[in-house]
Amino acid sequence: GWKAGGHAALYAQAVSSLEPPPDQVDQMLRRVKRYDPKGHDQWPDANLALQRLMSSYMGDIRSEQGLKIGLYRLQELIGEWKMAARHPHETMRVLEIANLATIAKACLTDALERKASSHYHLHFRVDYPEWDPPEWKKWVLVRQQEDKISIEHRPIEYKSH
């Protein structure tokens, strides 16, 4: 809120240039131009489809088969979208849905990678019903760079006070 705005104003006064790097501008323009004003899908429909997909495949009870189907359906859904962005508000919403789809892909990938059920991570896999086996007391980090996903495992470091 107001505190973040104050910090942003102080930062803006301290830097010599507020111009973003040209490659960042080009990348964002390419992303925005993907959405055609003549597209036939509306962002609320795309948002609802994404919510339904995640409810179906990332619900309380998960399995390898269900998570793989969820990832497949997500890719299918993204490929089918022809979202319209006729004005700045719709452009913002369409980009928001695209970001949510990226997060959905990361969540599904993470859940598929974690081959254990875990109280700590609110994750139950019917195909791995043992709760918190020692070898899975770790973080699964999922990153996306461009279109490539990388997965990394890191130990959870508990610090006692």
DSSP single-letter state for residue 117 = B
Q: What is the pTM of this model?
A: 0.79
Beta pairing class for 148-155 and 61-62: unpaired
pLDDT of residue 66: 97
**Cα distance between the two ends of the chain:** 32
pLDDT of residue 159: 65
64-107 pLDDT, tens digit each: 999 999 999 999 999 888 888 888 888 889 899 999 999 999 99
